[in-house]
Amino acid sequence: MTHFVSARDVCIQDPGWTRRLDLLQYVVLPYQWRILNDLIPGIKSGCIENFRVVAGQSSAKRFGVVFLDSDVYKWIEAVAYLLAQREDEQLEVWADEAISLIGKAQSPDGYLQTYYQAGALDQRWTNLREGHELYCMGHLIEASVAYHMATGKVQLLGIAERCADCIDRTFGPGKKNGCPGHPEVELALVRLYEATGIQRYLDLASWFIDVRGTSKAALDNDGSFAPIFPEMASFGPEYFLNHKPVREQTRATGHAVRAMYLYCAMADLARLGHDASLKHACQVLYEDVVERQMHVTGGIGTAAFGERFTTDYDLAPDTVYAESCASVGLMFLAKRMWNMTMDARVYDVWERALYNTVLSGMGLDGMHFFYVNPLEVTPAFVHANPGYSHVETQRPKWFGVACCPPNIARCLLSLNGALYARDEGNLWVLSHIGSVFHDGDLRGKLVHEGERYRLTVVGPAADIHLRIPEKSELVIGYDTYKEGSYVDLLHKGGTSTFSYVIKPEVCIIRANYRASALAGKRCAMRGHTVYCAESVDNGGIPLSSLRLSEKCMCSEERPPFPDEDPALSFPCSRVVDNLRELYGDAEKEQTEPALIRLVPYRLWGNRGEQEMRVWFDRG
């Protein structure tokens, strides 16, 4: 069976990515630890304090949202992936400290959710739709598997197994009939099965997937629970992905992050169980997401109300939600879809989400984050119009609901486990990030300098498959290969070295005409990177006056930040501001030649508040 080369066995050594890993190690993770411990003035998380409350070490009142526990679980998971690649004594000490406290907070029967433990334990498991107990415990399980993989330590794995055993005693055939309003435990139980080999964890994951949508009771139970999110009272079963059995679901609906985590578990179970109907459902749902509901940046989930999918081609660039976590989930799903299909284009989606929305979710200082990722921001409108109340013009330091910052960290730190895949006679290089790796008897190194790559492979003979990234040419010697497939190379055994070049192409992109908000609009991409304009690079003129031409006579310029993709400069036209009134005769509109300067979308918002725009009227 094809498998990914483990995060434990791949170490990233790449000009751009080493810098980002340094930032994550020395800034992001310590900063998040201090926030989770309420050590940064003016920012109240309450996450660690809540565990102290439940462990009897604090007399404070439990604080914050119902799913707050998951923040520290995702942080520990992120630390684990860092420790898999690099040593860091301080981060490991902090993680062990958190794990010890989590163990002290766990109920004797294995239950763990500070929201219910701090005063409402008799109501546990009564509100599966909103209670997030299985969601939080799922993140705990994921963290435990990662931490065990990275450090060999078993304390958190033991805590997670006691949690999973508690869930297993509670749910299943002849026991409680229910599934979580927010999927996560399903994919986590699969990971716990793969880490421990304990079959009943896999069986429980499978049961949670199969019971979903089979009856109203599968989610709502007896209806006696107290509402936690009153605004969700009107949300129907489609929102909670409980409207049909999962094998009959054909459209991505509801909360985008929930959908991604559910589909991830479905893909895992389809792979492990050779389950054709589950695989088919995954393919149908994945295609609905990426072919009809995904923004050009890899952002998903159009509506702010409910952080949800709406309908096909509803892709307005300014009001879009596009939560950072949803694109993290899309990357997790794309990785699993590749394992089922081996389609090179699946990794185009993985890279589209990574290099645009996920990286945009974190500021270059590592201490500011976007939850929402719009493709167009006019600060004056955002500040005045409640319809944009979900939009931030600058990355905040933290959030009351802080799911995104630690999720971005664990996603970026686990990239190394998604770069290479292997089976007995094959090696796939899926995303070209400089790194060293080994997998059993095969080891290798990918050196990345600018557009040049040199892959060295040592070990037994293997067919090597280099994925050709979207909007790029892969060049070996005098041969040029186009996107959408692989270049196949033969490693005859011993040591082989292959040199190649990946040339990203600048392309002007249009959307399907059914996406009415984007009709007549154009945007620019270079390889997997989407570009945007910011006022600071364009003379402060309203960006809506710029028209992007069909012709791609662009020049590449020095980027505003070091070690980043180049800025792009295009000849374009600009509407001359001769219209004093609000409306006027279109025939009298005048334009003049101008230049438009674009930077990678992932860098926006790092130079003060200003206009930003991805899509432009056609020139």
**47, 136, 166, 403: the active-site residue:** 403
Tokens standing for residue 614: 């991805």
Tokens standing for residue 100: 């010890």
307 classed as catalytic: yes
First to last CA, the chain: 50
* Residue 307: CB minimum distance to Zn ion, A: 8
Q: Between residues 257 and 546, which has the closer beta carbon with respect to Zn ion?
A: 257
CB 595 within 8 A of CB 547: no
CA R_g for the chain: 24
Can you tell me the distance from the alpha carbon of 346 to that of 267, in angstroms, rounded to the nearest whole number? 14
* Residue 257: CB minimum distance to Zn ion, A: 6
Q: Between residues 255 and 432, which has the closer beta carbon with respect to Zn ion?
A: 255
DSSP-derived pairing of the beta strands 462-467 and 426-429: parallel
* Residue 408: CB minimum distance to Zn ion, A: 9
DSSP H helix total and E strand total for the chain? 18, 22
Can you tell me the distance from the alpha carbon of 387 to that of 550, in angstroms, rounded to the nearest whole number? 32
Among left, alpha and beta (phi > 0; psi -120 to 50; other), residue 56 is left
DSSP 8-state code for residue 327: H
Virtual torsion, Cα 603, 607, 611, 616, nearest 10 deg: -30
Q: Between residues 323 and 534, which has the closer beta carbon with respect to Zn ion?
A: 323
Q: Directed axis angle between helix 133-151 and helix 69-85, to 10°?
A: 20
Q: Between residues 179 and 404, which has the closer beta carbon with respect to Zn ion?
A: 404
* Residue 403: CB minimum distance to Zn ion, A: 3
Can you tell me the distance from the alpha carbon of 315 to that of 515, in angstroms, rounded to the nearest whole number? 6
Tokens standing for residue 264: 């991830």
CB 452 within 8 A of CB 501: yes
Neighbours of 582 (CB within 10 A): 5
Q: Which residue is nearest to Zn ion (CB)?
A: 325
Can you tell me the distance from the alpha carbon of 619 to that of 548, in angstroms, rounded to the nearest whole number? 5
SS3 261: helix
Tokens standing for residue 169: 């005693």
Structure-token match 């992120």, residue found: 78
Nearest to 238 by CA among 261, 264, 256, 265: 256
Q: Between residues 289 and 404, which has the closer beta carbon with respect to Zn ion?
A: 404
Q: Between residues 140 and 464, which has the closer beta carbon with respect to Zn ion?
A: 140
Q: Between residues 129 and 182, which has the closer beta carbon with respect to Zn ion?
A: 182
**307, 323, 351, 534: the active-site residue:** 307
Q: Between residues 218 and 403, which has the closer beta carbon with respect to Zn ion?
A: 403
* Residue 363: CB minimum distance to Zn ion, A: 16
* Residue 135: CB minimum distance to Zn ion, A: 12
* Residue 517: CB minimum distance to Zn ion, A: 24
* Residue 362: CB minimum distance to Zn ion, A: 12
Q: Kind and range of the H or E element at 499?
A: strand 494-504
Nearest to 454 by CA among 504, 495, 483: 495
- Name the β-bridge partners of 70: none
* Residue 71: CB minimum distance to Zn ion, A: 10
DSSP 8-state code for residue 308: B
Q: Between residues 407 and 535, which has the closer beta carbon with respect to Zn ion?
A: 407
CA atoms within 13 A on the CB side of 397: 11
CB-based contacts of 338, cutoff 8 Å, min separation 6: 346, 347, 350, 421, 430
Tokens standing for residue 291: 């072919």
Q: Between residues 157 and 304, which has the closer beta carbon with respect to Zn ion?
A: 304
Can you tell me the distance from the alpha carbon of 300 to that of 154, in angstroms, rounded to the nearest whole number? 36
Q: Where does residue 533 rank: exposed (0-12), middle (13-18), buried (19+ CB within 10 A)?
A: buried
* Residue 323: CB minimum distance to Zn ion, A: 5
Query: Which positions lie near Zn ion, rule CB under 5 A?
Result: 323, 325, 403-404
Please give the positions annotated as active site.
307, 403
